Amino acid sequence: MEHAPAVTQPWTLLLDPAAAQSMVERVAKLNLPRRICRPLDRRRQPIMNAELARFDSAIEAEAANDA
């Protein structure tokens, strides 16, 4: 198994495209699970303040009408 030297500085990948390509190939071989996280898409906790809930719903309705 061939080991590429570890890149200690992420900025060196910008200056050495061959090192960046080898890093991408090494990571692709790991077959890591992929997960897309979008924490700002929806609120997880209920809004306790009624006035704030009305304001949020008004903003979201306005954004939906603009789209």
DSSP class per residue in 19-63: HHHHHHHHHHTT--------TTSS-SSPP--HHHHHHHHHHHHHH
In the chain, how long is the greatest CA-to-CA distance?
A: 62
pTM, rounded to two decimals: 0.37
Q: Which two tokens stand for residue 8?
A: 């200690």
Q: What is the pLDDT of residue 2?
A: 53
Looking at residue 67, what DSSP letter applies?
-
pLDDT tens across the length of the chain (67 residues): 455 555 667 777 788 888 888 888 988 888 888 887 777 766 667 767 888 888 888 988 887 787 6
Q: What is the pLDDT of residue 1?
A: 46
